[in-house]
Amino acid sequence: MSFQKLGMELLLIKLKMGGNKINNQNLNNNTDEEMVLNIGPQHPSTHGVLRLKTITDGEIIKKITPYIGYLHRCFEKHCENLTYEQAIPFIDRCDYIGSMNNDFGYAVAVEKLMDIKVPEKVEYIRVIVAEMNRIASHLLAVGVFGLDVGAVTPFVYCFRDRERILDLFEMLCGARLLYNYIWVGGVSHDFPIGWVEKTYDFLDYFEPKIIETNDLLTYNKIFIERTADVGVIPPEVAISYGVTGPNLRGSGVKWDLRKNDTYSIYDKFDFDIPVGTGAMGTIGDCWDRYYVRIRELEESLKIIRQALDQMPRDGDVYESMPKKIRPKAGHIYSRTESPRGDLGFYIESDGSATPSRLKLRSPAFTALSCMDEISKGWMLADMLTILGSLDIVLGEIDR
């Protein structure tokens, strides 16, 4: 491809991304009816530093352009200088809300690359902590969504329940939010004495809380009016944009990597995949996505209970941990189900102790990309509802 052609391609990409001067002048040329509103990087309601340039005609949205990159930390390039063990604290920090799931995905990828088989106890431990982190992440998503819509109290309740999970994690590995717990070939510590009983207590404590959240928020008529029929993602649009996770399941597509592309020991557990059915409006609206998350809380509770019952109580977690992680040359792409969707890792190794390329496929990035399409024709207040229902984390989008 000649350099001119390459230049033209880059120019077209720049135009599409909305960052070029020509495009900006175009926007300034708008008619009197259109207003450019900047929901800027500092705003109480964007989930991180995100800039949304909105063109409205007063109230109805015509076009949204998200500007990202405010949280970019050059994570992927930096990992090329770190060994495989040293990269784990950095992978934690990408999706800082569900960081056990990040580590899980990475460990599964590197173990596939090196053909390591971990002992059964380690698999159970990983599933338990990953599902607990999924509960914590969904609680945050549900609470913040309520906050966006105006209900402050469910937010505080969800955080109070989330604190119990974080206390359990602090007892387990010392850290509350960024764990560095799931390592390649095993986990860093075994469960301390008394942790399993405390987890059972937590499961008993948490089940009535879901009912309370349902009473307070899910079936509340004002909430339903705010979220039903708003921001509908039709299933074809979702699949064509690459949206995965609860956003895709909210549109009626029954696709979950824990069942459809099983990794680790998820085939030993009996759980459902909740799918949006349009109970309060159309299939694929904000209420469906929210309700899928609430139902996933219940399913995760089931998985954790079964895992705690089935887990072998004795075993060494350090058995299959390699002394030096030095995979053979090759590459691999593996994916796992994080609370936001389909988290993919592409690792390319050249036989040394540091990866030569590490790429993270972020599910929230694709969710944000479809935002322009689904919010055309809605009002400003709805735009924040839609953004909240997509559950994005800027750390994952910008890396």
Partner 1 sequence: MNYFTAIFQTISTLITGMSVTFKHMLKIRKGNVTLQYPVERWPRPERDIGFSSDSYNVIRSRLTVDMDDCIGCLKCERACPVDCIKIETHKVEKGEDIVEANHTGMTSNGTTKRLLLTRFDIDMSECCYCNLCTYPCPEECIFMVGGPNSTRHEIDYEFSEYDRNDMIYRFSKVPPDILQSYAEKK
Partner 2 sequence: MVDFYINLFSSIELIKSYQSSIFIISVLLAGIPIFGFMAVNALVAVYVERKVSAFMQDRLGPMGHGVGLHAGKWGVLQTLADAIKLLTKEDIIPESADKKLFLLAPCIIFIGSFVAFAGFPFNEFLIAADFNLGLFYILAMSSVGVIGIILAGYSSNNKWSLYGSMRSAAQIVSYEIPAALSLLPIVMLSGSLAFKDIVLAQTGSTLGILPNWFIFNNPFMIIAFWLFFIAGVAEVNRTPFDLPEAESELVAGWMTEYSGMRWAFFFLAEYANMFIVAGVATIGFLGGWLSPIPGYFDGSIWGVFWLVSKTSFLIFVMMWFRWTFPRLRTDQLMRMCWKFFLPGSFFVIIGVGLWDLIMR
Which of 220/320 has CB closer to partner 2? 220
Q: Which does 87 bind (CB under 5 to 8 A by kind): partner 2, partner 1, none?
A: partner 1
Which of 180/306 has CB closer to partner 1? 180
Among 36, 55, 196, 216, binds partner 1 (CB under 8 A): 216
DSSP code of residue 218: I
- Site track 156-185 with partner 1 (rule: CB under 8 A), x = hit: ----x--xx--xx-xxxxxx--x-x-----
Which of 62/189 has CB closer to partner 1? 189
Among 193, 270, 309, 377, binds partner 1 (CB under 8 A): 193
Q: Is 160 in the site for partner 2 (CB under 8 A)?
A: yes
Exposed, middle or buried by CB within 10 Å (0-12, 13-18, 19+), for 1?
Answer: exposed
Cα separation, 338 vs 255, in Å, equals: 13
Which of 225/350 has CB closer to partner 2? 225
CB of 44 to partner 2, least distance (A): 5
In the region spanning residues 214 to 233, those forming contacts with partner 2, defined by CB under 8 A, are 216-217, 220, 222-223, 225-226
For the chain, how many residues are written? Answer: 399
- Three-state SS across 291-308? HHHHHHHHHHHHHHHHHH
CB of 307 to partner 1, least distance (A): 20
Q: Is 222 in the site for partner 1 (CB under 8 A)?
A: yes
Scan for tokens 């390329």, then name that residue: 357
Tokens of 16: 């599409």
Q: Is 221 in the site for partner 1 (CB under 8 A)?
A: yes
Q: Are 67 and 51 in contact (CB under 8 A)?
A: yes
Cα separation, 373 vs 284, in Å, equals: 14
Which of 5/324 has CB closer to partner 1? 324
Q: Is 35 in the site for partner 2 (CB under 8 A)?
A: yes
Q: Which does 120 bind (CB under 5 to 8 A by kind): partner 1, partner 2, none?
A: none
Among 82, 239, 311, 379, binds partner 1 (CB under 8 A): 82
Among 14, 23, 41, 45, binds partner 2 (CB under 8 A): 45
Cα separation, 358 vs 223, in Å, equals: 42
Q: How many C-beta atoms surround the C-beta of residue 236 within 10 A?
A: 10
Cα separation, 119 vs 142, in Å, equals: 35
Among 86, 260, 262, 352, binds partner 1 (CB under 8 A): 86
Q: Is 236 in the site for partner 1 (CB under 8 A)?
A: no
Among 43, 63, 209, 326, binds partner 2 (CB under 8 A): 43
CB of 264 to partner 1, least distance (A): 23
Tokens of 324: 């030096």
Q: Which amino acid is at 354?
A: T
E strand intervals along the chain = 35-39, 51-56, 61-67, 182-183, 186-187, 330-338, 341-349, 357-361
Could you give the strand order of the β-sheet that contains 35-39, starting from the edge strand earlier in sequence?
35-39, 51-56, 61-67
- Residues binding partner 2 (CB under 8 A): 35, 37, 43-45, 59, 146-153, 156-157, 160, 216-217, 220, 222-223, 225-226, 379-382, 384
